[in-house]
Structure 1
Amino acid sequence: MYEFMNNMSALSLRGILENNKLAGANYDDWLIDIIDKPAVTAPVPKEDGSIDNEATKAYEKYLENCLTAKCIILATMGSDLQRQHQDMDPPTIVEHLKKMYGAQSNTARYQLSKTLFRSTLDVDSPVGPHVLKMIDLIEQLEKLGCKLGKELSQDLILQSLLENFLQFIVSFNIIKVSYDLHEMLNMLIDYENQISSEKKERS
């Protein structure tokens, strides 16, 4: 543990950026190189006893990246989790965390999808907050790895609306692939304002 703390304290953000070429835009790809790709094994001596220098350098770089990734992962954990994972390599840490918290993710996904699929616009309630809440649920599900896609998400929102949006639904279904969810939200708000204005004119 003492060696780990020394290594972690030496890993300033600036050092990671300079020595490992880590940046926000490439963080996921950089970490995937350690976690998802096959491990690099130590080079085997040739028949004459010599060792390939390039293979040795690649293996040393792999070990260095593993240590850096491990320090970053452990640095985000509480002390109890650190103690549980300090002797594991990065891929093993990730697999262990999946087993520990996978059930929690499944429960969260179930609750979010249940709320989303049962969402309906209440009578006399404004459409803006309702649709915004549905978009938030869709985005939360995406973070859990459940991507509904734009068209299905649009269908769920349209199905949650009241009968006074029927004309909007018919029109939007003709051109919906051209708009994202937030553009759809703005269109619904405009349509609602139009309906409200027409009602005032008739009264």
Structure 2
Amino acid sequence: MNPLSILLNKCTLNGDNYFEWKRNLNIVLNYDKITWVLSDRELEALTLLLTPQDIEYHKKWHDVNELAKCYILAFMNSILQKQHVGMGNAADIILHLYEMFGTTTRSTKVKAINAFKDLKQKPKEPLRDFMLKVISCLNEAELNGAEINAKMQISMIVHSLNS
């Protein structure tokens, strides 16, 4: 097993964690230098007019596509696996998953922002521990599509600190 595939193993796609899963998948695909298969398309068909380079590309594309599909399918729950196992290529699977889970709902985004806004430092809570919670809330909001500029982040953090 590829060392980076352990990263994906810790993040099995279940629908609620699409963005984290996709980020980890990209790390693994980049490590194996096969991310290109998600954007390059397969040659239409092998014909007698193809050059040896075209034939080599066709073979390489199929090999890399199968590897990418294996990574994608191996690290999703069994229900999603059954839905996607028959799809022809890795790019189609990724597109379908994005359509299913990649768009965040407005309520999810608002919930994440409100969790950040409602965060208050408890009396005698170490600043380090509190800032770790802040970072976690900001990451969650960002993963759900919230865009909070740096000035607003600083203002919200300062208001959440104990006097």
> Scaled by the length of structure 2, what TM-score is found?
0.64
| 2:26/2:35 contact within 8 Å kept | no
State the partner residue of 2:83. Answer: 84
CA pair 100-42 structure 1, distance change in 2 beyond 3 A: closer
> 5 Å matches for 1:114-133?
114-121=114-121, 124-126=123-125, 128=127, 129-133=129-133
Rg larger in structure? 1
Greater share of helix = 1
Per-residue deviation at 1:113?
1.2
CA pair 121-79 structure 1, distance change in 2 beyond 3 A: closer
> Scaled by the length of structure 1, what TM-score is found?
0.54
Per-residue deviation at 1:61?
0.8
State the partner residue of 1:74. Answer: 73
State the partner residue of 2:2. Answer: 13
Letter of the aligned partner of 2:28 in structure 1? Y
Higher RCO (Cα < 8 Å, 6 or more apart): 2
Structure 1: state its 5+ residue gaps.
1-11, 17-23, 165-203
Q: Secondary structure of the equivalent of 1:137? A: helix
Residue 60 (1) aligns with residue 59 (2): yes
Identity of aligned residues (%): 19
| 2:113/2:146 contact within 8 Å kept | no
CA pair 13-119 structure 1, distance change in 2 beyond 3 A: closer
**Partner Cα separation in structure 2 for residue 38 and residue 99 of structure 1:** 20
**In angstroms, what is the RMSD of aligned CA positions?**
3.3
**Partner Cα separation in structure 2 for residue 25 and residue 96 of structure 1:** 16
| 2:34/2:68 contact within 8 Å kept | yes
